[in-house]
Amino acid sequence: METGDPRNSVPPGRSGLFFGFVGAIGVVALAVSAGPLVALADRWSELPAAFWTMAALAVACDARPFVPPGRRQTSAVFPSTCFTFAILLGWGFGPAVAVQAVAVAVSGWRLGYAPWRTGFNAAQYACALAAAYAVTRLGPGELFGGGRLHWTDVAAVGGATLAWFVVNYGLVSSAVRLRFGDRWWPSVRSGLAYELLSTGSLLLLAPVLVAAARASAALIPLVLVPLFAVYRMARLSAEREQLADVDPLTGLPNRKALLTEVAEQVHLHGERAARGAPDAHLALLLLDLDRFKHVNDALGHAVGDRLLVEVSARLMGAVGTGDMVARLGGDEFAIVVPRLADIDQARERADRVVAALAEPVPLDGLPLDVGGAIGIALYPDHGEDFATLMRHADVAMYDAKHRNDTVAVYAPESDHNSAERLSLLADLRRVLESGPSAQGGETVGVRGGDGAALTPALPVRADRPARNQRPARDGGRRSGGGPNRWLRRRRERVEERHDDLIEQILTGADPIRRRAARSGGGPGAGPLVVGDAELAPAAETADADVSDDAEAAVSTGAPGVIGPTADGSTAAEPDDQAGHPGEITMYYQPQIAIATGEVVGVEALLRWRHPRRGMVDPGELIQVAEQSAVMRLLTRRVVDDVVEQLAKWSAAGLTLRAALNVSVRDLHTGEIADQIADRLARYGVPPERLQVEITEGALMADPRRVLASITQLHRIGVGIALDDFGTGYSSLQHLRRLPLSEVKVDRSFVLGMAEDPDDAAIVRSMIELAGALGLRVVAEGVEDERTWRMLHAAGCDVAQGWFHARPMPAEDLVAWLSRYRPVRPAEAGSRGGPVPEGESKASS
């Protein structure tokens, strides 16, 4: 924040044009004033006492003009304007210019103006008085002729007042524009209302003075009473306006003042950048104190207020003379640092603030620590207006808090609420609200996560779901039995065509079977499969592998590629309709019992193909959804798809356990248990076929509410698994109290256990701990045979990872199961071990 009056100096590079303008105005003022001033020498003795009274009051009042606080582009209010304009109306241009010049000299001396500024003020007033005098001369004759005020006199006075104001304000605004480069209209508009109220009132008081002077000179001093009232009202109004920009507790500027300061500094720094100045950067630092709420709660708000006052004083001592410190509210402060060369200087200023707050604040003999996190946004790199800089500084500040750091500079990758993410959230809501739907009365089957319907052998009308597919919630009494009887009847109908149904599914999904069927080789003519490796010639094996390019396209979400099909080729992405939000699907990754090689379950994984972004990263998808109520829609969709898929597999004779992830938001609401119970009953799926995975982070966010939700799920019969075990802060006490059936060792430990002895030791310890508590152990991220063997030796129960299979759509999983042959670790040495899809034996 600049100190002193900025109009006493001229910015570098603008002095030539500006002083040329000042000189031109001075020449015009001398030209129009020289003659009347010379003629005035013979009139001094003729001027009445009323003139001398007004002249004395004009000079005396300008010895103490009213300077509005905080205004940089509007002039001070000079009471002499009232008297000199009255002198102009009563005794002409010469006497008015002479008195105005003396008054300007006195006020300039009192206010400490630079000589050139005092001279320019005298010249501008001379030009304004000359314009007003010219308007009065256009009238029919002398004003107040015959002692009466005519309508022509009113018109002349009004015209003269307007002319004086337009010329005076126009010259001042032009000078400001030339010196600071402000745009013309914003500069004029910013101070126009204030000048009209203050200066306009003084000008309109002049005709009253003239009328009083014609009656008696003794009446003129009485005008000081209304002048004093105007002066006081203007000061009170300005003080009230200033208080609106000040925080009442600390005396620092508030958010409103900060907005004004940043807007002005952004404009000035934009000009510096246009000139190529090295100090054209502006930094906005946002500070949030740590543990301030604890101070309020423990010691009371009075102590908290004293702490904020002390922090304000320390901040003022830590910043530079040109910086601005503002309090935004609560324990949040902002610092504006102008004229920086780079981000390192902003960091240096932030480090000074951190050092100033490092020392404890002693209050009532108790030392209080007041550290904080600071976020930095730099103009123009991180934004070109107040709103953008403020938001980005806020993002950086929270980034520093999350990293347990003190200072952070804004980085786009830390901005989880960008416009792009908001758009992504809107598209996610649209795709969830639309959902898969049946058309009219068309016969449809149960739709699983792959979006495919059941075979027509199990017809279900969309408008009558309760008769065949979804039993009534009263336990099925209206249909003649409970859900178990309904399920038995449906299985009896399926058994007749069970073999044909399985053959149709496998032939449709497996390209090898399709080729064999077309060539007449029969359904069993496909090659033998060990793990994922087909025991077939290289030419045929290549068809089953997924190319690196196709896998890269799936991982990065490259447009135009859906990914590997069952035969290893890549399918082109269909053209999406304009504005279509894309498609939500479920992928499933097998979970293999290490000791037997049997597939014991799958984990359901969410996938979203966006029409513009391709495959959205699952982590980003969850992060976007968890910040809003969209997470509830997403969870409802996942539960529906997974339970329906289990019903589909049951109809096809496949018995698999499916695990799905739920977020902390779902566990806090408590609705997840009711929703899962409803879907299980509606589709006739046994509860033990479903498992819910929770993370340690969700558990620790609110253990009481989370425990209530998972206890309710446990009572239903749904299994509970603790995901990402080892990455959070859950204690053994939580493991003992929770109704868990399984823990999943995080892939970050499993991936490195073959090379890092510490990771291997951690994994073995987790397995032993879970085994002692009677919990099943699943290892995620199993990608090579050595890790697989080490997990078997450590006693791990289940493995999940690319060593066995990658996540795949439901129909591809059926094809994969038809090819899969269980392999035990003891047999792997003779049979080569399982090889993940898309990889050769050498790569594993």
- Let me know if 264 is a catalytic residue: no
Q: What is the reported pLDDT for 185?
A: 54
Stretch 61-88: mean pLDDT:
72
Q: Kindly state the helix (H) or strand (E) to which residue 229 belongs, with its residue range.
A: helix 224-243
Q: What is the reported pLDDT for 191?
A: 66
Contact residues for 281 (Cβ-Cβ < 8 A; gap 6+): 269, 339, 340, 341, 342, 343, 345, 346, 378, 379, 380, 381
Can you state the percent helix, strand and coil of the chain, rounding each to 5?
55, 15, 30
The torsion angles phi and psi of 450, rounded to 5 degrees, stand at -85, -5
**CA atoms of 208 and 198, how far apart (whole Å):** 17
Tokens of 453: 């319907």
Question: Does residue 132 have a pLDDT over 50?
Answer: yes
Q: What is the reported pLDDT for 726?
A: 65
Q: What is the reported pLDDT for 465?
A: 38
Q: What residue ranges in 231-298 does DSSP mark as E strands? A: 281-289
- Give the confidence band of 777 by pLDDT, cuts at 50, 70, 90: very high
Q: Cβ–Cβ contacts within 10 Å for residue 20, how many?
A: 11
Q: What is the reported pLDDT for 800?
A: 94
Tokens of 396: 């950086």
Each residue's pLDDT tens digit, 140-184: 556 655 556 667 778 888 888 999 989 988 888 888 777 766 555
Is residue 585 classed as helix, strand or coil in its secondary structure?
strand
Q: What is the reported pLDDT for 528?
A: 31
How buried is residue 170: exposed, middle or buried, by Cβ count under 10 Å (0-12/13-18/19+)? middle
Q: What is the reported pLDDT for 462?
A: 34
Each residue's pLDDT tens digit, 427-459: 888 888 776 533 333 333 334 434 444 333 333
**CA atoms of 554 and 548, how far apart (whole Å):** 10
Question: Which is higher by pLDDT, 595 or 214?
Answer: 595
Mean pLDDT of the chain: 75
Going by C-alpha positions, the residue among 816, 818, 841 that lies closest to residue 828 is 841
Name, of 67-71, 101-105, 706-710, the range with top average pLDDT.
Answer: 101-105
Residue 29 contacts residue 122 (beta carbons within 8 Å)? yes
CA angle 33, 39, 44 (to 5 degrees): 110
**CA atoms of 322 and 122, how far apart (whole Å):** 31
Q: What is the reported pLDDT for 778?
A: 95
Tokens of 400: 């520093």
Each residue's pLDDT tens digit, 516-562: 454 444 433 333 333 333 333 333 333 333 333 333 333 333 333 33
**CA atoms of 101 and 395, how far apart (whole Å):** 56
Each residue's pLDDT tens digit, 453-497: 433 333 333 333 333 333 433 433 333 444 444 444 444 444 444
Q: How many residues does the chain have?
A: 844
Residue 138 corresponds to which amino acid?
L
**CA atoms of 243 and 69, how far apart (whole Å):** 11
Each residue's pLDDT tens digit, 297-325: 888 888 888 999 999 999 998 888 889 99
Q: What is the reported pLDDT for 114?
A: 85
Place of tokens 């069952």: 566
From the candidates 693, 696, 780, 839, give the one annotated as an active-site residue: 780
Each residue's pLDDT tens digit, 585-609: 899 999 999 999 999 999 999 898 8
Each residue's pLDDT tens digit, 718-748: 999 988 776 655 556 666 777 889 999 988 8
Q: What is the reported pLDDT for 128?
A: 92
**CA atoms of 636 and 633, how far apart (whole Å):** 5
Each residue's pLDDT tens digit, 818-832: 999 988 887 655 444
- Give the confidence band of 190 by pLDDT, cuts at 50, 70, 90: low
Give me the helices (H) in 453-567, please.
465-468, 483-495, 498-509, 511-519, 538-544, 548-556
